Amino acid sequence: MKKLLLIPALAMLFGACSTATLININVDGDSFLATDKRAPPPLIVLNGQSYNSDIPDGGLTVPLPNLSFLTKIALKINVGVVSSAAGAINGTIQLFVAPSSGALFDPANKVPTGANCTGDLPVDGTNPVGVDLSLSATSPAPCSAAFTRVQSGQFRIGARVAFAVTANSTVTITLNNLDVGVSGYPVQIIK
Amino acid sequence: MKRILSAIGLVVALSSAALAQDVRSLGLGGALVPGAGLSPFNPGYLTYTGDGRGGGLTLPLGLLNFVLNPQMNVIDFLSNRTPYTTNPPTKVFNFLAAFDQITHLNTFILNTPTPPGELSINFSATGISLFDVTNNRPVALDFSSGGGLFGSPSATSGVSPLFAVPFSIGPISIKMGVFANVAPGAPRIDQALVTDIADGNLSAAYPNAISLNAQGAAGISLDVAFNTPLDVPGAKLFLGARASGFFGLAYADARAIINLKPGADPALTSAKIGYEYSYFTSGLIGSGIGFGVAGDFGIAADLTGATLGLPELEKFTVGLGIIGLVEASTWSGTETRTVFNPDTSVSTTTTNPNASRGGVSFNPLFTANVAGTFSLAGGFRILALLDGQLGRGSFNLHLGVEGQWTLFVLRAGVGLENGRLRFGLGGGIEFSPGLGLDLALTAHPTPIVGGTSWGIAAALRLGF
């Protein structure tokens, strides 16, 4: 049934373009999440302890079909990390892209959030952190592997705030934005 | 592959209806020319001999684009896909242009549309939208491309037969045919309901929340027309009357209604849903019979005595036609109605073997037209046309001019059809009466990207 609907939908879409039209598919990921998944209650954290807080909890399954024609993937995530003792937090934002089964927050699924696919962006306890990644087959190793996982179809995505604190405080973590954009020339399906 | 070909075949079959447009009429902006072609609107013209121009076989010129335009070569695209799929591609297939052309095969599109270079499909929890990145604007997936600037014929009369056999006995002409029409209904949703439930709550009862109507009929049609020329001082009159009758072989209609009302609380999930549906059958598929008649009248006249103060005036023709002056039809049959009451959860079915459909209606369409032929010095001849139509929910005005010099014909026209302006421009070569080629400029709204697609339509007449 789903396939039957897909054929006219694709036909309609093709009718609007040529084989040289670059098609972007943008998924507004955070819109599929309930409020309590995007903005969970604040964490009470203790001096000297380390924490791994996942957002959204359990990750988000992005409902894309097998997209072998993809040439580029854009991941945009914005996470707010606000500490009641801003100077007492030290940590990073980590990103995980996993196939549809298995553990999401596994080291093998980690995608560096820093520039040039190395390192992770720091959190300061005051400002939200925006991750803006562009992945392709020619990206450095951990990023190109994530590209291959997205290309294979249905995948999961999640962010982890890994931090340690030097004062008893509360930390509020919110997912402000999660956008997944993929681009390619669909005509390559019929290669 | 097979599926693609059958889909293309279906589109071609559907669009071939557009080939029926008269290229002469396109060039005249839709202006009506005295002759048998006007008789559906005015039975006075049934035996009127026209000038023999117009009509002919409209050529599917649009097919040429699939050969001449390298971005629309569908055979090459389907048989040799590699150059289209390499990165970067060495060849491009333009789906949008191919769609526009295949749905307008009667015209060779000159400015085939260029699709956006980049298109975004945006998914969110609230819906899907399309955005044309190249031109920075949202895209509406609207593939309806009919009703162009040079639209289709604006009115129909009576029951249109699938095929008809015409013959005549003296002043009486008879046309017998078989008709079948189906009006499948699209579901109608109460818009007030849509607004009401946006917050997830139902605040009022909706007796017609969703309704659906559909009907179909088939039978034998018989047009009997009486037309006789009369010579009176200063004019040659053509009086015509036509009775269009049908004997119905089968008729069916069905309607379904879903009603909604708030339940114990206003939440949509506790709403009470009721429904009713009914269907009516007559003729061979049920019991009973159907028949109907419609009456058309018309007068056309060549005012041989008129000069209008213009010595160049060679011929002056006026006409007035009324179609559907009387319309009556009746179908007797059986109606079955089922009602489900959500309060009692009981559904009841009633059958009425003496139900009927139809009635007498007064829904005429008036057509008035004036045509003047002028002979000018140097062998130039001009045909000037003016017509107006009123009734059946439409108001149309057309003004057209056709100039002839030796073999060559030039046409132009302007029309106002239900508030919509249309223009016509065309030309032709007249080798001998009935043997010629007509060309006309066409225009229609371009699907998806907007704007106007311009084209050339051609008709060949081989009446030698």
Grade residue B186 by pLDDT with cuts at 50, 70 and 90: low
pLDDT score of A149 = 87
**Which of A3, A6, A18, A64 to mutate: most B Cβ within 10 Å?**
A18
B197 and B318 fall within a common domain: yes
Residues belonging to chain B with any Cβ–Cβ distance to chain A shorter than 8 Å: 3, 7, 71, 77, 81-82, 84-85, 87, 89, 91-97, 99, 114-126, 130, 133, 139, 141, 143, 447-448
- In this model, does residue B404 exceed pLDDT 70? yes
Phi-psi group of B64: left, alpha or beta (phi > 0 → left; psi -120 to 50 → alpha; rest → beta): alpha
Give tens-digit pLDDT for B78-91: 888 888 888 777 88
Residue B377 lies in a domain: no
DSSP conformational letter for A145: H
B118 and B187 fall within a common domain: no
Cβ contact A187–B93 (<8 Å): yes
Q: Which of B81, B89, B91 sits opposite A190 (nearest CB)?
A: B81
Output A68 or B247, whichever has higher pLDDT. Answer: B247
Which of B364, B382, B401 is the endpoint of a domain? Answer: B364
Residue B373 lies in a domain: no
CB-CB neighbours of B305 under 10 Å: 10
pLDDT score of B145 = 40
Report the number of distinct structural domains present in chain B. Answer: 2
With beta carbons less than 8 A apart as the criterion, state whether A112 and A131 touch.
no
B143 and B161 fall within a common domain: no
Q: Which of A18, A23, A24 sits opposite B71 (nearest CB)?
A: A18
SS (HEC) of chain B? CHHHHHHHHHHHHHHHHHHHCCHHHHHCCCCCCCCHHHCCCCHHHCCCCCCCCCCCEECCHHHHHHHHCHHHCHHHHHHCCHHHHCCCCCCCCEHHHHHHHHCCCCCEECCCCCCCCEEEEEEECCEEEEEECCCCEEECCCCCCCCCCCCCCCCCCCCCCCEEEEEEECCEEEEEEEEEEEECCCCEECHHHHHHHHHCECCCCEEEEEEEEEEEEEEEEEEEEEEEEEEECCEEEEEEEEEEEEEEEEEEEEEEEEEEECCCCCEHHHCEEEEEEEEEEEECCCECCEEEEEEEEEEEEECCCCCCCCCCEEEEEEEEEEEEEEEEEEEEEEEEEEEEECCCCEEEEEEEEEEEEEEEECCCEEEEEEEEEEECHHHEEEEEEEEEEEECCEEEEEEEEEEEECCEEEEEEEEEECCEEEEEEEEEEEEECCEEEEEEEEEEECCCCCCEEEEEEEEEEECC
pLDDT score of A79 = 94
pLDDT score of A75 = 92
Give tens-digit pLDDT for B350-385: 999 888 888 887 888 999 999 999 999 888 999 999
Residue B375 lies in a domain: no
Grade residue B1 by pLDDT with cuts at 50, 70 and 90: very low
Using a CB-CB cut-off of 8 Å, the residues of chain B touching A191 are 81-82, 85
B173 and B126 fall within a common domain: no
With beta carbons less than 8 A apart as the criterion, state whether B79 and B423 touch.
no
Output B150 or A25, whichever has higher pLDDT. Answer: A25
Phi, psi angles (nearest 5°) of residue B232: -120, 160
Q: How many CB pairs under 8 A join A and B?
A: 101
Stretch among B137-151, B211-225, B395-409 having the lowest mean pLDDT? B137-151
Measure the CA angle with vertex B17, ends B151 and B15; round to 5°: 90
Using a CB-CB cut-off of 8 Å, the residues of chain A touching B114 are 18
- In this model, does residue A96 exceed pLDDT 90? yes
Cβ contact A187–B84 (<8 Å): yes
B331 and B432 fall within a common domain: no
pLDDT score of B140 = 65
- In this model, does residue B215 exceed pLDDT 60? yes
B312 and B271 fall within a common domain: yes
- In this model, does residue B268 exceed pLDDT 50? yes
Q: Which 3 state secondary structure label does DSSP give A32?
A: helix
Residue B221 lies in domain: 156-364
Using a CB-CB cut-off of 8 Å, the residues of chain A touching B7 are 11
Burial class (CB in 10 A: 0-12, 13-18, 19+), B442: buried
Cβ contact B119–A23 (<8 Å): yes
Using a CB-CB cut-off of 8 Å, the residues of chain B touching A175 are none
B211 and B324 fall within a common domain: yes
B171 and B317 fall within a common domain: yes
Q: What is the mean pLDDT of residues B321-349?
A: 88
pLDDT score of B382 = 95
Query: What percent of chain B has pLDDT above 70?
Result: 88
B119 and B168 fall within a common domain: no
Q: What is the mean pLDDT of residues B440-454?
A: 83
B452 and B401 fall within a common domain: yes
Q: How confident is the prediction for chain A on average, in pLDDT?
A: 85
pLDDT score of B141 = 59
pLDDT score of B6 = 52
Q: What is the mean pLDDT of residues B134-145?
A: 67
Grade residue B20 by pLDDT with cuts at 50, 70 and 90: very low
B280: which 2 tokens?
């009516």
Q: Which of A22, A26, A32 sits opposite B122 (nearest CB)?
A: A26
B236 and B342 fall within a common domain: yes
Using a CB-CB cut-off of 8 Å, the residues of chain A touching B133 are 22, 24
B398 and B344 fall within a common domain: no
Grade residue A1 by pLDDT with cuts at 50, 70 and 90: very low
Q: Which of A19, A21, A27 sits opposite B119 (nearest CB)?
A: A21
Cβ contact A21–B81 (<8 Å): no
Q: Is the ipTM of this complex over 0.90?
A: no
Give tens-digit pLDDT for B141-170: 555 443 332 223 222 334 556 677 778 887
With beta carbons less than 8 A apart as the criterion, state whether B415 and B397 touch.
yes
Residue with tokens 């117009």: B54
Residue with tokens 């139509």: B389
Rank B17-21, B24-28, B210-214 by mean pLDDT and report only the highest. Answer: B24-28
With beta carbons less than 8 A apart as the criterion, state whether B257 and B276 touch.
yes
pLDDT score of A14 = 65
- In this model, does residue B15 exceed pLDDT 50? no
Q: How confident is the prediction for chain B on average, in pLDDT?
A: 82
Grade residue A189 by pLDDT with cuts at 50, 70 and 90: low
Q: What is the mean pLDDT of residues B167-188?
A: 78
Task: Give the DSSP H or E segment for A36.
Answer: helix A35-38
Give tens-digit pLDDT for B289-330: 888 888 899 999 999 888 788 888 889 999 999 988 878 888
Single-letter residue type at A171: V
With beta carbons less than 8 A apart as the criterion, state whether B259 and B303 touch.
no
Grade residue A162 by pLDDT with cuts at 50, 70 and 90: very high
Domains of chain A by range and CATH? 20-184 (2.60.120)
